[in-house]
Amino acid sequence: MVICKTVADLRAYLSSRPRGPRLGFIPTMGALHDGHASLIREAKAGGRFTVCSVFVNPTQFNDPADFQKYPKTIESDILLLEQAGVDVLFLPSVSEIYPTGVVLTKHYDLGYLETVLEGAYRPGHFQGVCQVVERLLRIVQPDDLYMGQKDYQQCMVIRRLIELEQLPVVLVVCPIRREADGLAMSSRNLRLDAVHREGATAIYEALEMIRRRVSEVLAAPLGSAPARRGSGAAPEAAAAPLAPITAEARASLEAKGFRVDYVEIADGTTLQLLESWDGRAPAVALIAAFWGEVRLIDNEVLAPKRSS
């Protein structure tokens, strides 16, 4: 694996590589785990020449303490990348990425996405994410960009960034990787002590509870709501009211000591928050909660009901 620390070195290396395989890019903030490795595996399985970046981006941390405490494990990161068969590691300094200073120089019109869930709870966060991802994409110039569904809303924001800036790159979203007990893999898990690590699975359990409750309601008989006779219309689908289900999930987390930011179910395509769901269009259940000092997020896509 080649390691490039400057934009000039990376550009020189990439321009001299033989034409052929598409370039797959995996941006990271380090503290790598098997979730990152799964993005690399996906890129390599598709025959991509792979570039991975490790850069802890200061402009996306709305909480300076969170930035200071972000885990840094560059030696084991390099080992993981080498074992995963990454071709190039881009390991820039802050001044390499932000030569004119660490400030937001432009506003991205992210619309509704910036007002809800992570956008509402972490003001400015997605502006910083867009700033660094745009910069990295313009430096690396990949054909394909690999990101994890663990950051569901971030993937939607990046899709919007690509549209806004008309960047010639294909976004590939890869499934969440989980530990054996269900905890979603995350660099922040490194900050959990043994006791908190064990209890952290409650978030996944709450998501699973949501999935089960929603499918129970959708599977229940339609009751006495027949299709209008002679209308030719299909019977109305049962819709699961979601507030009691998300309230139960929130209460179960709070009872265990979590400080919950949100438990919501949203339209899987627009992220509009749903009050009920008829199981037709994809939906997603999303949770963000502090467990001790560490803020964890997770989500689970609720698969649409198959029509019979």
Catalytic residues: 36
Minimum Å distance from CB 148 to ligand PAF? 7
State how far the alpha carbon of 243 is from the alpha carbons of 62, 147, 274, in Å: 29, 30, 9
Q: Judged by CB, which is closer to ligand PAF: 23, or 242?
A: 23
Minimum Å distance from CB 28 to ligand PAF? 5
Q: Judged by CB, which is closer to ligand PAF: 146, or 262?
A: 146
131 is in an annotated binding site: no
Q: Judged by CB, which is closer to ligand PAF: 132, or 249?
A: 132
Minimum Å distance from CB 230 to ligand PAF? 54
State how far the alpha carbon of 97 is from the alpha carbons of 86, 133, 229, 236, 269, in Å: 21, 10, 65, 54, 32
Q: Judged by CB, which is closer to ligand PAF: 103, or 194?
A: 103
Going through the chain in order, the beta strands assigned E by DSSP cover 2-4, 23-28, 49-54, 88-90, 144-148, 170-174, 240-241, 259-267, 276-277, 283-291, 294-302
38 is in an annotated binding site: no
30 is in an annotated binding site: yes
188 is in an annotated binding site: yes
Distance, CA of 123 to CA of 127 (rounded, Å): 9
Among residues 117, 285, 272, 284, which one has the least CA distance to residue 206?
A: 285
186 is in an annotated binding site: yes
224 is in an annotated binding site: no
Among residues 62, 68, 51, which one has the least CA distance to residue 15?
A: 51
Tell me how many degrees the CA angle 34-284-277 measures, rounded to the nearest 5: 160
Minimum Å distance from CB 149 to ligand PAF? 11
148 is in an annotated binding site: yes
Q: Using CB under 6 A as the criterion, which residues of the chain lie in contact with ligand PAF when the complex forms?
A: 27-29, 57, 60, 129, 132-133, 151, 154
The token pair at 69 is: 């405490």
The token pair at 118 is: 């992570």
Q: Judged by CB, which is closer to ligand PAF: 89, or 253?
A: 89
Q: Tell me if 289 sits within 8 A of 296, measured CB to CB.
A: yes
Minimum Å distance from CB 92 to ligand PAF? 12
Minimum Å distance from CB 125 to ligand PAF? 9
- According to DSSP, the residues that pair with 265 across neighbouring strands are 285
Rg (CA), the chain: 21
Task: Provide the pairing of β-strand 88-90 with 144-148.
Answer: unpaired
Q: Judged by CB, which is closer to ligand PAF: 126, or 258?
A: 126
Task: Provide the pairing of β-strand 259-267 with 144-148.
Answer: unpaired
Summarize the annotated binding site as residue ranges: 29-36, 60, 148-151, 154, 185-188
Q: Residues marked as binding for ATP?
A: 29-36, 148-151, 185-188
- Extract the annotated binding site for (R)-pantoate: 60, 154
